[in-house]
Amino acid sequence: MTIAQHTADVADAPAGNSRNDAVSFSCKQQFDNLSAAELVEHAIRNGEGALTDTGALACDTGEFTGRSPKDRYIVKDETTADEVWWGEVNIPFDADKFDGLYQKMLANLADKTVYTRSAYVCALPEYRLNVQVINTKAYHNLFCYNMFLRPTAEELANFTPDFTVICDPDFRADPAVDGTRSANFAILNLTRHMILIGGTGYTGEMKKGIFSVLNFKLPVERHTLSMHSSANEGESGDVAVFFGLSGTGKTTLSADPHRSLIGDDEHGWGRDGVFNFEGGCYAKVIDLSAEKEPEIYKAIRFGAILENTRYRENTREVDYANREVTENTRVSYPIHFIDKAKVPSAGGVPKNIFFLTADAFGVLPPIAKLTTGQAMYHFISGYTAKVAGTEVGVTEPKATFSACFGAAFMPLHPTRYAEMLGEKMNEHETAVWLINTGWTGGAYGTGERMKLRYTRAMITAALNGELADVDYINHPVFGVAIPQHCPNVPAEILNPGDTWQDKDDYDATAQKLAGLFRDNFGKYEAFANDEIRAGGPVNPAE
């Protein structure tokens, strides 16, 4: 088969441009907007991967099998200086150093084969952001084909980029000269409308780089809430949004056979409702099975990319339990690989929002309804807990907090996103539920994990309005409203304190967890309004 190609030999783009015209560069060979099949062919020819028994392309990302948060920067300039919440998450980078690094990266492309792609993000046209991607790996370009939205032929003919991503995993920075911490880097420039990624082959840096851009641009420029969440829609058009950190069940619980998937990870909540930022899914596959995740399992076919997995011996059958490379094994595929995916990936105003937490302390109720203030507080907290044994030295549950359930990608102060959530809750009378998919009857090691069928039943009851007229009591420490009846769920598990044999031990553990919440919230309290501050746990000292 003849592969469409052409060779580029044009001048470098001038430095200092604030308008994002298509980036010009010199290279040995350039391929523009290849099809998925062509990119798979290139990847195999280049030695970047091999086909599995299902036809998926299996690739390794190299030294980095996940993001490197300490090497992610935002250029500090007139656009960002007073807007970005600077610190350990949003690390400032010098604009002149960025320009120098950009020129070095362009020069480094001169003797390389380059794959470019014109794509866009945001499923609703009024929010659309055109993205130009420049890759030195064919499978990276296929990842962008899968994960970003795909223009029509007519749209490609009139395509003008709004943002450019340059990703060259073989380019290594010189920290002493270039201003980086390490040889690898991911740098966002919101004035020049560019992202530079070098020294890492982890594809998620491209996806989360654009997500970070939208988490700045949409709230600041469009007063639109950006969300690190999944979303689905019922047959009647009711939309549900799911927030949750890793291990809380976000992917599992949003993949409902009776509801259409809007998206699995990144969404905006605009004037008329929810819309997906992406055109694909990037799911974890560690311990994947057809029984546990049938939709994802079926999506791993030709056009999908598996990252850092291994085969069963003497086969091309993937061993999803294999942790030889990393726990963070992944698959990327276009969203239409999911049978129940909604196209276009947008829906109305959310009727219900679910905050998922795997509380290994066994304190939080399996389901509770939140006031607006409590919702904003728990949104800022972004709580879950790791169990003992998951990390060296962890012998008891360890609380994990990630603001807005995605702190690593949020350029603004968390209270700005939380206040927007509160405004939208009040405007649209959206219900927010706290769901504990973690432990009951005691902490990890004593109690047991909440049964998935009960969690599904609770979410279904909330979605169907079956919890509207039941009695509620307030949790004595966290103040959230606990329903006293839920269809298909034993009443005795609804009040967590009643599931513990030692009630004094429960009370002490609840106070301990509340203290961890308060300690974490101290980082944000000075910026929080009174309603947010009042949404936290009751302080016994007051």
β-pairing verdict for 230-233 and 225-228: unpaired
pLDDT, position 396: 76
* Helices assigned H by DSSP within 223-323: 250-254, 294-299
Secondary structure, 3-state, 59-102:
ECCCCCCCCCHHHEEEECCCCCCCCCCCCCCCEEECHHHHHHHH
Query: 434 and 355 in contact (C-beta within 8 Å)?
Result: yes
Active site residues: 67, 208, 228, 246, 250-251, 265, 330
pLDDT per position in the chain (542 positions), as tens? Answer: 333 333 333 233 333 333 345 688 999 999 999 999 999 999 999 999 999 999 999 999 999 999 999 999 999 999 999 999 999 999 999 999 999 999 999 999 999 999 999 999 999 999 999 999 999 999 999 999 999 999 999 999 999 999 999 999 999 999 999 999 999 999 999 999 999 999 999 999 999 999 999 999 999 999 999 999 999 999 999 999 999 998 898 888 888 889 999 999 999 999 999 999 999 999 999 999 999 889 999 999 999 999 999 999 999 999 999 999 999 999 999 999 999 999 999 999 999 999 999 999 999 999 999 999 999 999 999 999 987 544 445 567 899 999 999 999 999 999 999 999 999 999 999 999 999 999 999 999 999 999 999 999 999 999 999 999 999 999 999 999 999 999 999 999 999 999 999 999 999 999 999 999 999 999 999 999 999 999 999 876 66
Query: 250 and 282 in contact (C-beta within 8 Å)?
Result: no
β-pairing verdict for 57-59 and 225-228: unpaired
CA angle 365, 370, 375 (to 5 degrees): 115
pLDDT, position 542: 60
Beta bridge partners of 26: 9
pLDDT, position 21: 55
β-pairing verdict for 431-436 and 350-357: parallel
Measured CA distances, 476 to 364, 432, 483, 494 (Å): 11, 19, 14, 14
Tokens 């690898």 — which residue?
184
Give the other-Cβ count within 10 Å of 332's Cβ: 28
pLDDT, position 154: 95
